[in-house]
Every structure is written in structure tokens, then in C-alpha cells.
Chains A and B, each alone.
Chain A
Amino acid sequence: MTAGAGVLEAAKGTAAAQAAPEGEVLLKGCEAIAEAAIRSGIDAYFAYPITPQTDIPEYMAEHLPKLGKTYTQANSEVSAINMVYGAAGAGLRCMTSSSSPGVSLKQEGISYIAGAELPCLIVNVMRGGPGLGTVYGSQEDYWQSVKGGGHGGYRMPVLAPATVQECADLTMLCVRLADLYRTPTLLCLDGTLGQMWENLRFSTFDESGLPPKDWATTGRKGGRKANLVNSIIIEPPELEAHNRALHAKYAVMAEREQRWESYRTEDADEIVVAFGLAGRIGRTAVELMRAAGRKVGLLRPISLFPFPVKGLAPLTTRARRWLVVEMNAGQMVEDVKQALFDLGRLDPVKFYGRQGGVIPTPEEIAEVVEREFPKGGAR
């Protein structure tokens, strides 16, 4: 792909470029996602404006048409996700992006895409809810993202970046996983990260081992057998067989695609579990508490589905106290409790959350740990 090079070229001579080390570029989280998607070979992008992700359609509108690719501003998020359905079904590498209320509108289409097993990327730059809520960043869509926001009990890989660098890297990974598993994938970040500027370095998209899209509706050229992109399977035994195959695929994803970051967990008695921006703040909180003599570590899930049980399991040999921090009223904490239970652990799991777009501070998190886990009461 050449668009990325174009960005780097265009940035030359700007104050930002001069400040950036060689090979790095200064971008917003949203722009990094857009550029990474272009470098992943996206053929088509469909979306509808909504704060705080509108930098993505703006970036796409500027760059995609120059590459001969499709940029369409749809009449609604509902329409955009169905354009994704059609394009993905026709074999295009394609995506849409939105923010929480808009992603709610897309849920019907995502369910159809999951049922029809179409590869695509959906980006949710989360804002506070419910309802119209606020335009400020939040993590209130965890449940919607990982528990199947639409109907029918499907799953899809959900990746949550914590830095602008990860915004780019995980966008590329989402596009790859989509094609690899023939599945929708969701990149899930809060609005603050979407608007945050950081230096980053783009990697090269990994095309290796991706299966051909011989199921796509590209016309029966050469008289081949007709292809069908479809999610209606009216006979119950046939739908059950289809759903079993889907869930067998989800089990493979759960086995192979767990991702996480562990920070200072080797000797930790207490673990802070947090994803995305909360995870990034949690890292600073761990540093604060370590400086004060607490043996605290951080587990930052990067894949929200599959939940990184493999990252959590080794920590249970030592850690006995867990604090889950989220920018919501407590959603991922359920998965942490379930994972510990499945591992045979009945450790206390505490929760701390800020809501409505309020961002927790490292000091706040350290105070909560002090309060919830008084010294000496560890074991």
C-alpha cells in the first residue's frame, strides 16, 4: 500500500514530523486506525459521522478515493453496515466505524454478517451512554462488544488498544483475523484514545496464509456453481448444524487468539485488571504503588473476546487479591470472576469504575487498592 507513505511524505517539514524519530509519525488514534486500515488493503469503507470517531471517515474520504477505493458516506449506520455486508460478500476487504449509539444501530447488520460468516472490520470508538449520553470516552460497551450486541448468540474477535501504536497494530490484526477466520472483528477503544496524539510506527500487513475468498458473489464466471451469501437457514436441524460449526470456530479463536499484557506480575500478590485506557492508567497506578512498596501487578486484556484466561491463569499461583478497573459500572469484572472460578479460585474480586466519560486517575486507583486490600490481610 502506498497511502501510508503518502502520509509520511505529507508530514515531512511539519513541526510534528521534525519532532518524530525516523520512521515514526505523529497521529491521532482515529487517524492511526484509518491509515492502518488503508495499509491493510481495505477496498471499501462505509460509515456515517458521529463524535468522537469522525476523524476516521474524514481521513478515509481524503485518502481512499485517490487509491481507487470506495469511500461512501451512508444515509445511516444501519445502511453502512449493510453496505459492509454486501461488499464483504462480494469479496472486498472492507470496514465501517462508529461510536456507541451508532454501533448500537449496526447490531442487526453485525448479526447477519456473523451468521453469513463475512470478514470485515468494525471500529467502535466508545463514548458514554446509555442513550445519547456524552461524546466523552468510556468503556460502557464491553458487554455489547463481547457478549454479542446483536441477536443470535454469535461471537467475534474483539481487540482493545491502549496506545495509538496499538490502534494501528490491532487494526491490522483485526483485518487479518477477519480474513483468516471469515468473521467480523471489532476494534474497541474509548473516545479519549481515539482523540489522543502519539508517535507511532506502522508495520507491514501480514498477508501470509489467508484463505482465498472462493465463496464470494463475484458472478458465476466460467459457469462455476452459484455462490450464495446468506444467513437464513430455515430448517432447525440445519441451523443447529450451522451454529455448531460457528461455535466450533469460536472455540478455535478462543484457543489461539488470546492476547494480553502483563506488567510487573512476576512477584505480585495483588493484580489490577483493566483494558484499554483504564489499563494504561492502571499501569501508572502500579508504578505508584510499587514505589510505595506494594507488590502489585497489572493484567491488561488486549483481546476482550477471547478473554485472556491464559494470561490470568499463571498469576493465580501467587496473586490472591484482584481489583478490576473499568470506565463503566462493572462489566469485564464478570469475566474476571468467571475465569477465576473456572480456575478453581475463590479470591475476592473488587471493582472500581468511573462512568459517563469520567477518567480515573492513577492516584484514585492506588487509593482504592489501599482501601480494599488493607496491608496484612493478604493471605
Chain B
Amino acid sequence: MTGTATEGAVLPRVEFDTQVCKGCGVCIEACPEDIIEYADFFNHRGVKPTRLVEGGLVKCTACGNCAVVCPDSAVEVENLRKHLRYGRNALRIGDMHYCPGCDEGTVHELLAEVIHDLGIQEVTVGVASVGCTVFAYRYIDIDWQQAAHGRATSVAWGIECQHPELRVFTLQGDGDLAGIGIGETFHAAARGDPTVLIFLNNAIYGMTGGQLAPTTMMGQVTSTSPEGRNVKTHGYPVTMTEALALQQGCSFAVRTSVHDAPAIRRTKKFIRQAFLNQEKNRSLSVVEILSACPSGWKLEPADAHRYVVETMFPVYKPGVIKEPPGGMPR
């Protein structure tokens, strides 16, 4: 037998959409082979997009991390030998308004993938709330309602009360869910509404420019806690998911994060489990996702992700808080 070591090897297909890219650089951090760099030109957004380094493809293992972590779904990786594809799902539409490196885009991609994978796009209705998720309806190609600030769970109950066939989820930030809407959220758990709550906790009011939220960390500097959060002035951070899990009408509660590729893959499983639990147990499922807000936190995306792990994890402990009756759905 003759040939070289690479004979029979099929190179992966890797495509960077340099016009969609916002230059946040999380793909550079996520690449185990160190084969992603900033380009030497500016795209229409005025940023230098990322790309593979010259000749990088031969080193690429098609792990898909760059595609998984891209909050704007601007990277596509295909392992042609194993027929595995990573990148934008068919239900994920439009260019997002989120800041570079914002984790909310990542969560949109995961939601689109789960809804698509479960084949429920014809019966799923999303409820966008007020805050950064206000335009969520632009990014996932399903029916949506846009709710008033804090009222997403009440709107969700209105949608599903006479439509048992519908799969309703809310996409809410921490100000919405744990601040102005804490009453609505709590009573959705008390009633046991069959809603999936996707709770994006970025410890800040992002849309309005980074003010103190109920979930802001002790000592965290925001535009309305310029000296850092202190108990005397601002009280303690609210741990909402634990409170919801205590209610009988909440059957599944988990806290997770999307700070790196393994965490994103775990979070996708949790979102999937929440939708499966919705079908099986017909009561409230809560997925709290600790989300970096680089703009609001005034941190580089990579530093923001480190902040999630180093500062948020000790207070907002990741993991399953309440397992559904009969164990985790698969």
C-alpha cells in the first residue's frame, strides 16, 4: 500500500460570514487549534471580522466550537466525513441587534435548534419581553407575542389556556422576570402554567444602558451603583430560580451558562429537557442562563465570560435545582 498520512482525509468545510461578524472574537478564544484570527479589513459594520488563518484548514478538527460560540451564528463548520454540521439553524433568521459578544444571540441559536430538532415549530409560540430580548421575534421564525415589561408569563398563560396543543415559552431578562415582573413570574409557578421560562440573567439592565438590577452582584459597578452594589443602598441579589423551584407548580428548574462551548452544549440539552418536560408534566419549566453583557459590564467579551465563572457562579450556582418527577426527561 502506498500513500501519505493524509490520504483519505476529508478537509472540513469552514465558512466565516465576514459581513455578519461583529468582531467580538469569542471564536478565537474557543478554537483549540488556535487557527482563527482577525482579518486585515473592515466589514460594513466597521469592525475587523474573524477568519481562518492562512492554511489553517488542514489543522482544523471540525470540532465546531467556533460555530457554537458565535453569538451571531456567523460561522458554519461541516465535518464532511461524519456528516456533522455546526452553525445557523434554519429557524434562526435575521441579523441581530445585540452588541458584539452578547450571549443572548447564542441563546437564540440554541432555542432555534431545539425547536427545530423537536419538530415543534408549527406549535411553538414565543413571548418576547421588554429589555434586550424585545426584538426576539425578529430572529426565530415562529409565531411570537411581544409582552409588556414583566408580564410575559401572564401573556403566556393567556396564549396557552385554551390552546393545549401550543408550546409556549417566554424569553425574559432579569429585570423583567425578577424585578418588575416578579409577581407574574411567581404566580406562573404557583399556578403551574405549562410554560418554558428562558431566563437570561446578565445581572444588569442591558437595554437601558447598564443600570443596577435585582440580580446585580455585590460590589458590581453599574451606572446606578457607581460605587458598586452595597447592601445598605441596594439590598442583596435575588436568586429567582431557587424561589420558583420551591413552588409545587414548577416541575423543572436549572441554572446554566453559555460562557464557553461545553457550557453552550450543556445549555442546549437543558433547553431541550425543558421543552420535553413541558410536554410530559404540563407545569412550569425554568432555565436560567447566566449571560455575559460585555457592553453593560464594560468588559471585553472574553473577560466578561471569565466574570460569569469567577463572580457569578459562587452566588448563582449552576446545576439542576429541581429535577422533574421521574427524573430528567431525555
A positions within 8 Å CB-CB of B: 43-44, 46, 69-70, 72, 74-76, 78-80, 82-90, 92, 94, 108-109, 112, 116, 217-223, 226-232
Q: Are A85 and B145 interface neighbours, CB within 8 A?
A: yes
Contact of A219 among B122, B147, B158, B161 (CB under 8 A): B122
Q: Are B142 and A226 interface neighbours, CB within 8 A?
A: yes
| B234 interfacial contact with A, CB 8 Å | no
A45 CB → nearest B CB, Å: 10
Q: Are B162 and A78 interface neighbours, CB within 8 A?
A: no
23 A-B contacts (beta carbon < 8 Å):
A46-B158, A70-B162, A72-B161, A76-B183, A78-B154, A79-B183, A82-B184, A83-B158, A84-B158, A85-B147, A85-B154, A85-B158, A86-B158, A90-B125, A92-B162, A108-B148, A217-B145, A218-B125, A220-B121, A220-B142, A228-B144, A229-B146, A232-B146
Q: Are B144 and A229 interface neighbours, CB within 8 A?
A: yes
A-B pairs, 5 with minimum CB distance: A86-B158, A87-B158, A86-B155, A82-B151, A82-B154
Contact of B154 among A74, A217, A228 (CB under 8 A): A74
| B169 interfacial contact with A, CB 8 Å | no
Q: Which of A70, A78, A86, A94 neighbours the largest number of chain B CB atoms within 10 Å of its CB?
A: A86
Knowing A75-B183, A89-B159 are in contact, say whether A220-B122 is a contact too (CB < 8 A). Answer: yes
Complex contacts, A74 vs chain B, CB 8 Å: 154, 187
How many positions in chain B have a CB within 8 Å of any CB in the partner chain?
Answer: 36
B positions within 8 Å CB-CB of A: 121-125, 127, 134-135, 137, 141-148, 151, 154-163, 165-166, 183-184, 186-187, 190-191
Knowing A109-B151, A226-B143, A228-B146 are in contact, say whether A72-B157 is a contact too (CB < 8 A). Answer: yes
Q: Does more than half of chain A's interface fall in helix, strand or loop, or is it mixed? A: mixed
Q: Are B163 and A82 interface neighbours, CB within 8 A?
A: no
Q: Are A85 and B148 interface neighbours, CB within 8 A?
A: yes
Q: Which of A72, A112, A229 neighbours the largest number of chain B CB atoms within 10 Å of its CB?
A: A229
Q: Which of B123, B134, B154 neighbours the largest number of chain A CB atoms within 10 Å of its CB?
A: B154
Complex contacts, A229 vs chain B, CB 8 Å: 144-146
Complex contacts, A226 vs chain B, CB 8 Å: 137, 141-144
Q: Are B134 and A232 interface neighbours, CB within 8 A?
A: yes
Contact of A86 among B122, B127, B134, B141 (CB under 8 A): B127
Q: With A and B bound together, what is the CA distance between A44 and B135 in angstroms?
A: 28
Knowing A217-B125, A220-B122, A221-B123 are in contact, say whether A94-B158 is a contact too (CB < 8 A). Answer: yes
